[in-house]
Amino acid sequence: MRAGGGKAKGSQFERDTCVQLSKWVSNGTLSDVFWRSAMSGGRATVAFRKHGTRHRNQVGDISYVNDIGKKFIDQFVVECKFYADLNYLGLLTGKGKLLDFWAKLKKEAKDHDKHPFLVARQNRLQAHVIVDIDGRRELGFSNSRQTLLISIPHNLYIYDADNFFKACPPYL
């Protein structure tokens, strides 16, 4: 990959995720319910660190731009990660990028009284949606046939993103 290509790849992944989330919550009728947060959520992170101020709608990579998405963003911090190697094997060893991203997202979600919602993709693999048990309950999604992997020690459920958005009822 050319220098700087990773940033462009991640930005495009965030835009694609916004469209996918938008279609999901609108039953396929809208593609512009969600968009990328200012500074990929950095505005909320800085405000919380400096002043303890919570910019709840700006935390994470995705925020809503149409009120249909408000309920979802009120309950979830959405992060998007597209990396060459997320180290899925790290779920067995307890180390790796995916678990580092998950730990950081869980903390950020807890700081803002929300649930973590990670959309992750590794090169040459499909995207995955990752939530914890409480987020799964909040979504009302208990279809165990859609679950690819459960990591009890790390409290995460991994789903193929395309199948997740087809099978999980829209969060309205």
Detail the DSSP E strand segments found in the chain.
34-36, 62-64, 76-83, 115-122, 128-131, 147-151, 156-160
Task: Report the candidate in 68, 64, 91 with the shortest Cα–Cα distance to residue 78.
Answer: 64
149: Cβ–Cβ under 8 A, 6 or more apart, which residues? 91, 157, 158
Report how far residue 30's alpha carbon sits from residue 22's, in angstroms, rounded to the nearest whole number.
6
3-state secondary structure of 76: strand
Full-model pTM? 0.86
pLDDT band at 44 (very low <50, low <70, confident <90, very high): very low
For residue 71, is pLDDT > 60?
yes
3-state secondary structure of 99: helix
pLDDT band at 145 (very low <50, low <70, confident <90, very high): confident
Report how far residue 164's alpha carbon sits from residue 118's, in angstroms, rounded to the nearest whole number.
12
Reported as a single tens digit per residue, the pLDDT across 100-115 is 999 999 999 999 999 9
Report how far residue 110's alpha carbon sits from residue 108's, in angstroms, rounded to the nearest whole number.
5
pLDDT band at 56 (very low <50, low <70, confident <90, very high): low
- pLDDT mean across residues, the chain: 87
26: Cβ–Cβ under 8 A, 6 or more apart, which residues? 33, 68, 170
Confidence at residue 51, expressed as pLDDT on a 0 to 100 scale:
44
3-state secondary structure of 25: helix
Report how far residue 119's alpha carbon sits from residue 116's, in angstroms, rounded to the nearest whole number.
10
Domain boundaries, the chain: 5-167
Residues linked to residue 41 through DSSP beta bridges, in sequence order: none
Q: In the 8-state DSSP scheme, what is residue 62?
A: E
Reported as a single tens digit per residue, the pLDDT across 9-34 is 778 999 999 999 999 999 999 999 99
169: Cβ–Cβ under 8 A, 6 or more apart, which residues? 139, 140, 141
